[in-house]
Amino acid sequence: MQKLKLLLLSYALLTSCGGFNNQVLRTSNNSPVFEIQRGACYGSCPIYTVTLTSDRLITYHGKRFVENQGINEWYLSRRNFKQITDIILSSFNYSDSYNIQAQDLPMTTLKINDNHTIKYKGICPSEFSDELEFIENILFENALWNFPE
């Protein structure tokens, strides 16, 4: 379990970033609020998707080169959900794509409220890497309690 947390935090530090146009987040049940898709590279880059819905459900789908393959779900506290939505609304106001032409770098796609998609390859621009790192840390904070051993 410690390996998963260390892997996810290390990967987030190396390749995280994102963006958003200021919009009101959806409030209907089960609608996606934030999604991170980590894509493949020519090597063994972790491939997974993490989705946060408006009912605070986090769904992790580990596909390849991750410690836990398959689908796992857990809920986020109201306090942490508010922290994430506040960050999204206040900090993610950047371009739609970065460094897309790069070869052999993993593609990361951020979907925010189904209204905005941001893509980048490799290390993200420094304008919002801290915000995405913080969000990923919150999303995975309770994951260790929910992944099967």
**How many structural domains is the chain composed of?**
1
CA distance 92 to 86: 10
First to last CA, the chain: 7
**Which pLDDT value is given to residue 64?**
96
CA distance 98 to 112: 16
**Which pLDDT value is given to residue 26?**
41
pTM more than 0.85: no
Q: Which domain holds residue 129?
A: 2-145
Q: For every one of its 149 residues, what pLDDT tens digit does the chain have, with 9 covering 90 and above?
A: 444 444 444 444 333 433 333 333 444 468 999 999 999 998 899 999 999 999 999 999 999 999 989 999 999 999 999 999 999 888 877 678 888 888 889 999 999 987 888 899 998 877 789 999 999 999 988 776 665 55
CB 112 within 8 A of CB 135: no
Query: Residues 5-37, buried b or exposed e (16+ Cβ, 10 A)?
Result: beebeebbeebbbbbbeeeebeeeeeebbbbbb
Q: Which residues pair with 120 in a beta bridge?
A: 98, 108
**Which pLDDT value is given to residue 110?**
92
